[in-house]
Each structure stands twice: as structure tokens, then as C-alpha cells.
């Protein structure tokens, strides 16, 4: 009787020890020894060593496999064995092999080192490597965790528009695009639309790309990045911070649970992330300034923090750090003043450890019509474009809060990346629009 053949994936191969399996994938590397051949196959779920011998396969098929180029696509059938000599502990003794498509020689991404510019020019191929695949798998897990957690807390996902009529904030540079005779801009945030949506749905979040035309040339900036932005009616500032702590903790726990293999592949020791749990340390802006002055860092009350300030403050803790109660002048127009000290606002930035900077910016929002209108005017924003936003304060205003979590910065921190551009499949920076 014929043996049963299991169609499976590399990630599930350990369930099929001493069984016959069929794997579909690409040739990642190959080591040849004349009459025995080691084929390293990757299939999107992992990589595994396949052993081909001339005695089993015959001269003709063996020679064809021996001549395969890196990245050729294959369907390999074989017998799974546990073997300590194999990387990963399991290998497949090949019984037959279908060559789906032979790759051309001189695949650009070799197993040796490459420079960042070369790799980014070949990003469409670079993502096939184990490290990049793992980062993207972790990114997917982070995004799914955001949705799962917020859904479990009763939030509804609302899609905010990408094409918007004006600069929401008025301060940062936006990408402009023609729009049937007028100008439209790519969204830098869905927050204002979220504030409308919570008055209909209570608790919402939007999840999408955000765009900034700033000429930032640092490892912490992209021109196109992804944010999840929760917003909730009746949520106070204190409740906001608790939500942020819980979301971050949930994401970390999820990645530790589901993607520990990928964490190891990207070189992050999972134990670095264990113990990230509420409560997170907190510090007011004023306390932070005092602390920086004590360390002889040049800063005056009222100045916004730069990257070195953030890095120094965040390096005091293993957990992310809340910095709260910023001066109103240094922050966005819609933030609610602190009733006890109205020159400051009920805003909090969450700074990731290890120099990854601000992963969350959030605040309670102004709910008073007159004050909000005054702030819009003070910031010299076009009031007409904000009439709909002001309407929200006319018809049943409530205290409400929200925040934005930067997905790439979160992924970069979790994966211990040295640049945000590896945290997104196809990064967009000031100097890179392709591939």
C-alpha cells in the first residue's frame, strides 16, 4: 500500500516525524558533496534542510538538483527525520522533487553581508531572508494584537479618510495632491474624524497609514508610517494612560507567546521584553526638565524635548516611560488644559526604552466650544475647515481622550532594529520611493 503523503509547511514539520511530506517553497541555499546534496528550503513559514542523495534520486534528477540556482521554486517530497546535525533539529530525506521554476543565476541577495542602500534597492527580494521575514511576521502579530485587544474592550474600527481637505494640525508639512480642481492632502492622522465617530459609536479606533512630508533624515522617521489611533467618549486622562499601558502589555505578551522563534531570529532576547507590565513609570514634563537640568542638559521650561532628551529619560527604566503635563505651547491645539495648572495640558507621550523614542502620543481633548475655537485661532488655522470639528462641541460635548501608537516604532523596539525602515515591508523615506 502507498504511504500517505502530508501536504504541510516547514513550521509544522516536527508533527510529521517519520512521515512522508510534501513541501512547497524556494531554494535558500545549497551545499553539495558529490553524491550527497543539502538543499536549504524556505517556504514563508521557516527554513529546513533537505537531504538529497544520488543513490535515492538517480543520476539525472540528482544532477539537475545539484545545478539549481538560489531561489528556484520547488515542490519537495520526502521523509521527515529528527537529526541533531540539521539546523533546527529536523530534516527531510528527499524522495522526489518537482522543479517549478528555475531561478536565473546571480541572485543579488547572497548569504554574505550587503550594505543598506543595496539591500533597500532590492527590498522586493531582501524580504525573503529569514531576518526580514521574521520582522514582517512580528509586525503582523503586533497589528493583529492591536485589533484583538481593542475589539475585546468594546472598540469599533472606523476607517478615517486618507484624502483630507486641509492640514489638520497646520504645523507639519503634508503631501499635496490635485483633487478635481482643488487641493487635497494625504492624512497625517485620523484623530479628528475619530472624535466625530465616538459621538456615534462610543469607543473607536482607526488603523491606517499616516503621511508626513517632513524632510526628516533619521532612523526614527518615515514619510509613510502606520498608526493605530483609539479614541473614546467619556474617557478621562487617567483612564487613557491605563488603556495605553494595557495595550502595550497585550502586544508584548502576544509577540512573546506567538513569535518567540522570530524574536530569536531577529536577535532580540525574549527575556528583554518579559516583565513589561502595568504600571509604567510616570513623570511630569516639569519633573523631566528638572531632572535634565540636574544632569547638566541644556533645556528651559517650555522647550519641547529633542531625541537626546527622550533617550536620556527613557534610559532610566526598562519599561516604557510616560511623560505627562507638557506646556500647552509645545503641543497640539486640541489638548485639554490641566485644570490645576492651565499652562500645561493633559497630554502624555510614551517613550520606549533603548532610545526608540516616542511610541505613543496621546491626550484628553478640549470639549469646550469657546476654548477650542480660541485655540484654533491662536494657531492661525483656517476656522472654516474646522467648523465640523467645532460642531462636536456644540451638540452634546463630552470629556474624551485618545492616542496614536506608531506601529513601526513599536516593531523596531520589539525587534531591536537600528532603523525604522526595516519595520515596514516597503519603506518610504525622503530619499526612497521605490521599489
Partner RNA sequence: UCCUCGAUAGCUCAAUGGCAGAGCAUCCGGCUGUUAACCGGAGGGUUGCAGGUUCGAGUCCUGCUCGAGGAGCCA
| Nearer CB in complex with RNA: 52/255 | 52
Buried b (16+ CB within 10 A) or exposed e, 112-125: eebeeeebbbbbee
Judge contact between 204 and 155, C-beta under 8 A: yes
Closer residue to RNA in complex, CB, 209/256? 209
Instruction: Return left, alpha or beta for 416; rule: phi > 0 is left, psi -120 to 50 is alpha, else beta.
Output: left
Nearer to RNA, 7 or 218 (CB): 218
CB of 7 or CB of 174, closer to RNA: 174
- Decide whether 125 or 256 has the Cβ nearer to RNA: 125
Q: Which is nearer to RNA, 45 or 173 (CB)?
A: 173
CB of 162 to RNA, least distance (A): 13
Q: CA of 89: how far to CAs of 10, 30, 32, 80, 285, in Å?
A: 12, 17, 20, 11, 52
The C-alpha atoms of residue 358 and residue 225 are separated, in whole angstroms, by 14
Q: How far is the CB of 332 from RNA (least distance, A)?
A: 4
Q: How far is the CB of 334 from RNA (least distance, A)?
A: 7
The least distance separating RNA from the CB of residue 374, rounded to whole angstroms, comes to 17
Whole-number minimum distance, CB 229 to RNA, in Å?
7
Q: Which of 123, 148, 132, 126 is nearest to 255 (CA)?
A: 148
List contacts with RNA (CB under 7 A).
29, 31-36, 38, 40, 49, 51, 53-55, 69-70, 83, 85-87, 91, 93, 105-108, 110-118, 120, 168-169, 171-173, 188-189, 191-192, 212, 214-221, 227, 229, 304, 306-308, 332, 334, 358, 361, 404, 419, 429, 431-432
What is the smallest separation between the CB atom of 33 and RNA, expressed in angstroms? 4
- Please give, one letter per residue, the 3-state secondary structure of 265-327: HCCCCHHHCCCCCCCCCEEEHHHHHHHHHHCCCCCCECECCCHHHHHHHHCCCCCCEEEECCE
C-alpha–C-alpha distance, residues 322 and 185, integer Å: 32
Place of cell 487641493: 183
| Residue whose C-alpha cell reads 515542490 in the numeric block | 75
Provide, rounded to whole angstroms, the least separation between the CB of residue 119 and RNA: 7
Measure the CA–CA gap between 337 and 329, rounded to whole angstroms.
Answer: 11
Cα separation of 66 and 97, whole Å?
A: 12
Work out how close the CB of 284 gets to RNA at its nearest, in angstroms, rounded to a whole number: 19
Cell matching residue 50: 533537505
CB of 345 to RNA, least distance (A): 12
Tell me the sheet residues that pair with 26. Answer: 42, 73
Residue with Cβ nearer RNA (31 or 293): 31
Give the residue with the Cβ less far from RNA, 192 or 366. Answer: 192
Rounded distance between C-alpha atoms, residue 306 and residue 322, angstroms: 16
Q: Do 415 and 139 contact (CB within 8 A), yes or no? A: no
Residue 419: CB minimum distance to RNA, A? 5
Residue with smaller CB distance to RNA, 257 or 267: 267
250-276 b/e with 16+ CB inside 10 Å = b? bbbbbbbeebeebbebbebeeeebeeb
Cβ closest to RNA, residue 70 vs residue 324: 70
Amino acid at each position: 500500500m502507498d504511504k500517505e503523503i502530508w501536504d504541510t509547511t516547514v513550521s509544522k514539520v516536527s508533527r510529521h516525524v517519520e512521515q512522508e511530506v510534501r513541501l512547497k517553497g524556494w531554494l535558500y541555499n545549497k551545499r553539495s558533496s558529490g553524491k550527497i546534496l543539502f538543499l536549504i528550503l524556505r517556504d514563508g513559514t521557516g527554513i529546513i534542510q533537505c537531504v538529497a542523495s544520488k543513490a535515492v534520486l538517480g543520476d539525472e534528477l540528482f544532477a539537475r538538483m545539484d545545478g539549481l540556482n538560489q531561489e528556484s521554486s520547488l515542490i519537495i517530497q520526502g521523509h521527515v527525520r529528527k537529526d541533531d546535525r540539521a539546523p533546527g533539529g529536523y530534516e527531510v530525506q528527499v524522495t522526489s522533487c518537482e522543479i517549478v521554476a528555475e531561478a536565473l543565476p546571480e541572485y543579488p541577495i547572497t548569504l554574505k553581508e550587503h550594505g543598506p542602500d543595496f539591500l533597500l534597492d532590492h527590498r522586493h527580494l531582501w524580504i525573503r531572508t529569514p531576518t526580514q521575514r521574521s520582522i514582517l511576521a512580528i509586525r503582523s502579530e503586533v497589528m493583529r494584537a492591536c485589533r484583538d485587544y481593542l475589539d475585546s474592550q468594546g472598540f469599533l474600527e472606523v476607517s478615517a479618510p486618507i484624502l483630507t481637505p486641509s492640514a489638520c494640525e497646520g504645523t507639519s508639512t503634508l503631501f499635496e495632491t490635485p483633487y478635481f480642481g482643488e487641493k487635497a492632502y494625504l492624512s497625517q492622522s485620523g484623530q479628528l474624524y475619530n472624535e466625530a465617530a465616538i459621538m456615534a459609536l462610543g469607543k473607536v479606533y482607526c488603523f491606517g497609514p499616516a503621511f508626513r512630508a517632513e524632510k526628516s533624515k533619521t532612523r526614527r522617521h518615515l514619510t509613510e508610517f502606520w498608526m493605530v489611533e483609539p479614541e473614546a467618549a467619556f474617557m478621562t486622562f487617567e483612564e487613557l494612560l491605563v488603556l495605553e499601558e494595557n495595550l502595550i502589555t497585550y502586544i508584548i505578551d502576544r509577540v512573546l507567546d506567538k513569535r518567540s522563534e522570530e524574536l530569536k531570529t531577529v536577535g532580540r532576547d525574549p527575556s528583554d521584553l518579559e516583565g513589561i507590565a502595568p504600571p509604567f513609570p510616570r513623570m511630569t514634563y516639569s519633573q523631566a526638565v528638572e531632572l535634565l537640568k540636574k544632569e547638566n542638559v541644556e533645556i528651559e521650561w517650555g522647550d519641547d524635548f529633542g531625541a537626546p532628551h527622550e533617550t536620556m529619560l527613557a534610559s532610566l527604566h526598562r519599561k516604557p516611560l510616560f511623560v505627562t503635563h507638557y506646556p500647552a505651547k509645545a503641543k497640539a491645539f486640541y489638548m485639554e488644559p490641566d485644570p490645576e495648572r492651565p499652562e500645561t495640558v493633559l497630554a502624555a507621550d510614551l517613550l520606549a526604552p533603548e532610545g526608540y523614542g516616542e511610541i505613543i502620543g496621546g491626550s484628553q481633548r478640549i470639549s469646550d466650544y469657546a476654548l477650542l475655537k480660541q485655540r484654533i485661532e491662536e494657531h492661525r488655522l483656517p476656522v472654516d475647515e474646522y467648523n465640523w470639528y467645532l460642531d462636536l462641541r456644540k451638540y452634546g460635548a463630552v470629556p474624551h481622550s485618545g492616542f496614536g501608537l506608531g506601529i513601526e516604532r513599536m516593531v523596531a523596539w520589539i525587534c531591536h532594529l537600528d532603523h525604522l525602515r526595516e519595520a515596514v515591508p516597503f519603506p518610504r523615506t525622503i530619499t526612497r520611493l521605490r521599489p
